[in-house]
Structure 1
Amino acid sequence: MNPLILDDLCERLQLTEVARLAGPRADSAAAAQDPYTAYLADLLQAEVDARQQRYVSSRVQMAHLPFRKPLDTFDFAFQPSIDERQIRELATLQWIDAAANILFLGPPGVGKSHLTVSLALQAIQARQSVYFVTIQDMIADLRRAWEDNRFPARLAVYTRPKLLCVDEVGYLPLERLDATLFFRLVSARYERGSMILTSNKSFSEWGEVFGDAVLATAILDRLLHHSTVVNIRGESYRLREKKRSQGRDGLLVPPASGTVHA
Structure 2
Amino acid sequence: MTRPTNEALIERAKALKLYGLIEHWEELGESLPRVEQLLQWEESERARRSLQRRLRTARIGRFKPISDFDWKWPAQCDRAAVEELMSLAFIQEPANAVLLGPNGVGKTTLARNIAHQALMNGHTVLFTSAAYMLNELAAQDGDIALRRKIKHYAQPELLVIDEVGYLSYGNRHADLLFEIVSRRYETRATLITTNRPFAEWNEVFPNAACVVSLVDRLVHRAEIIPIEGESYRLKEARERATERKRSRKKGVRQPKGSTDAADGDLPT
Q: TM-score, normalised by structure 2?
A: 0.72
Q: 1:152 to 1:47 in 2, by over 3 A?
A: closer
Matches within 5 A, 1:18-33: none
Q: Distance in 2 between matches of 1:141 and 1:116?
A: 21
Letter in 1 for 2:167: L
Q: 1:61 to 1:73 in 2, by over 3 A?
A: farther
Q: 2:224 matched to 1:225?
A: no
Q: 1:103 to 1:52 in 2, by over 3 A?
A: same
> In structure 1, the residue corresponding to 2:240 is in which secondary structure?
helix
Map of 1:200 onto structure 2: 195
Deviation, 1:56, is: 3.8
Pick one of 126, 129, 143 that aligns with 1:149: 143
* CA deviation string 1:126-159 (max 9, x = no partner): 10000011111111111122x4222111100001
Map of 2:65 onto structure 1: 70
Pick one of 42, 55, 60 that aligns with 2:55: 60
* CA deviation string 1:75-127 (max 9, x = no partner): 11212411211211111111101121111111110000001000001100110
* CA deviation string 1:12-59 (max 9, x = no partner): x9xxxxxxxxxxxxxxxxxxxxxxxxxxxxxx9999888766544442
> In structure 2, the residue corresponding to 1:76 is in which secondary structure?
coil
Structure 1 runs (4+) greater than 6 angstroms displaced: 44-51, 251-254
Q: Distance in 1 between matches of 2:49 and 2:77?
A: 33
Map of 1:129 onto structure 2: 124
Matches within 5 A, 1:243-254: 243-250=238-245
Q: 2:166 matched to 1:184?
A: no
Letter in 2 for 1:223: L
Q: TM-score, normalised by structure 1?
A: 0.74
Q: 1:58 to 1:208 in 2, by over 3 A?
A: same
> In structure 1, the residue corresponding to 2:167 is in which secondary structure?
coil
Q: Distance in 1 between matches of 2:194 and 2:247?
A: 33
Matches within 5 A, 1:162-173: 162-173=157-168
Q: CA RMSD in A?
A: 2.8
Identity %: 34
Equivalent residues of 1:68, 1:121 under 8 A apart:
no
Equivalent residues of 2:118, 2:125 under 8 A apart:
yes
Deviation, 1:60, is: 2.1
Q: 2:101 matched to 1:103?
A: no
Letter in 2 for 1:66: G
Equivalent residues of 2:81, 2:225 under 8 A apart:
no
Equivalent residues of 2:129, 2:162 under 8 A apart:
yes
Structure 1's unaligned 5+ residue stretches are 1-12, 14-43, 255-262
Letter in 2 for 1:201: R
Structure 2's unaligned 5+ residue stretches are 1-12, 14-38, 250-268
